[in-house]
């Protein structure tokens, strides 16, 4: 038997490193199972949809021999796991949507697929400033229309970038509340299988920021945030 200190595991940053097929996700899955037994809240960014296996027992006859050898019993954790997908509600998936209401320019710049130039950023900031003068509640569509009223030639690239972001369909006026993701004894799995890479980037950037802000404000309890394929989401610089 091997025992790990659960407080040190949850309270520190951990990296699981190995080449492809080395067992990173499997090792992490084992840790998730043990955390669930201890009722630790978790949120998992599941890039390839591998954590679905936690919801069903392992019935492999080949693995059964090893289970007997190490005195391990097959188990499933479907009662403790909720799966979300940005692609919509289907089967056992809940639909994950992010708040598209009252977005600040800095928040939009963080998740835009393409980076804007100085003049283009100026158009965006000015458009949102103007909206705030007559609206207390505005959407991404309102921002696009405000940018369209700008006299600057830089507006066209800004509109194209905002339309691209809006077409993803991930932003909603009735977004999934981050509070629902973090609950004692529960693991929320964000299943990214089939989701285009640019959409994955937007979801992870926005969701991780929201969870961080909610945790700082004490709206959610301490939890373990697991990011599969983390190098795909970390910025190259800055």
Residue 142 has pLDDT above 90, yes or no: yes
Give the integer Cα–Cα distance in Å for 127 and 130: 5
Mean pLDDT (the chain) is 91
- Binned at pLDDT 50, 70 and 90, residue 10 comes out as confident
Give the integer Cα–Cα distance in Å for 84 and 46: 10
Residue 35 has pLDDT above 90, yes or no: yes
Give, for 226, the enclosing helix (H) or strand (E). strand 224-227
Half-sphere exposure of 219 (CA within 13 A, CB side): 12
- Binned at pLDDT 50, 70 and 90, residue 144 comes out as very high
- Binned at pLDDT 50, 70 and 90, residue 12 comes out as confident
Give, for 155, the enclosing helix (H) or strand (E). helix 155-167
Give the integer Cα–Cα distance in Å for 20 and 67: 24
Quote the percentage of the chain above a pLDDT of 70: 99
Question: Do residues 157 and 165 touch, judged by C-beta distance below 8 A?
Answer: no
Q: Taking residues 70-97, what's their average pLDDT?
A: 89
- Binned at pLDDT 50, 70 and 90, residue 38 comes out as very high
The pLDDT of residue 238 is: 58
Residue 86 has pLDDT above 80, yes or no: yes
The pLDDT of residue 115 is: 84
- Binned at pLDDT 50, 70 and 90, residue 88 comes out as confident
Residue 90 has pLDDT above 80, yes or no: no
Chain-centre distance of CA 167, in angstroms?
A: 18
């Amino acid at each position: 038997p091997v025992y790990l200190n659960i407080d040190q595991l949850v309270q520190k940053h951990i990296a699981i490193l190995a080449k492809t097929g080395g067992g990173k996700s499997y090792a992490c899955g084992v840790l998730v199972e043990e955390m669930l037994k201890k009722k630790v809240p978790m949120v998992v960014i599941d890039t390839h949809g591998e954590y679905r296996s936690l919801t069903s027992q392992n019935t492999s006859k080949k693995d059964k021999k090893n289970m007997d050898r190490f005195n391990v019993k097959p188990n499933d954790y479907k009662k403790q796991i909720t799966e979300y997908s940005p692609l919509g509600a289907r089967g056992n998936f809940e639909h994950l949507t992010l708040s598209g209401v009252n977005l600040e320019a800095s928040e939009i710049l963080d998740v835009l697929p393409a980076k804007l130039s100085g003049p283009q950023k100026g158009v965006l900031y000015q458009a949102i400033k103007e909206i705030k003068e007559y609206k207390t509640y505005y959407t991404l569509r309102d921002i696009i229309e405000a940018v369209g009223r700008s006299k600057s030639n830089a507006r066209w690239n800004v509109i194209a970038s905002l339309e691209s972001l809006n077409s993803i369909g991930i932003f909603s006026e009735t977004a999934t509340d981050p509070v629902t993701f973090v609950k004692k004894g529960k693991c929320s799995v964000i299943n990214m299988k089939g989701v285009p890479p640019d959409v994955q980037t937007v979801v992870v950037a926005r969701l991780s920021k929201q969870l961080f802000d909610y945790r700082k404000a004490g709206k959610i309890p301490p939890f373990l945030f697991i990011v599969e394929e983390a190098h795909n989401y970390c910025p190259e610089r800055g």
